[in-house]
Amino acid sequence: MVRGIDVKITKNAVRDKRGKFVSLAESRTVSAIKAIRVIGKLGNHSHYEYTEADVRKIAAALTREIDAMKTRMLSRGGKEEVEFKL
């Protein structure tokens, strides 16, 4: 009977960790998508001046960060610094 309780506690802990992950992943992903959309608003030529090279640099920086996120989530890698300059 004690083993049954231990297993139940373990399953609840796993469920809590999963629920916490899902909740945070959803809210943070929505925030990231909104931030990318805000960057996209810089495309208004009547308000901003930029070059195609600027656009490529921004896209490359975002792509690098997505690749780093995948690496961190799929392996036990460490944290990386975020750097970006035009």
C-alpha 39/C-alpha 29 separation (Å) is 15
Q: Answer yes or no: are the C-beta atoms of 48 and 42 closer than 8 Å.
A: yes
Q: Answer yes or no: are the C-beta atoms of 42 and 50 closer than 8 Å.
A: yes
C-alpha 6/C-alpha 55 separation (Å) is 54
Q: Give how far Cα 7 sits from Cα of 13, 60, 85, Å.
A: 10, 46, 51
pLDDT in tens, the chain (86 residues): 555 565 566 777 778 999 999 999 999 999 999 999 999 999 999 999 999 999 999 999 999 999 999 999 998 755 666 777 88
Stated pTM of the model: 0.71
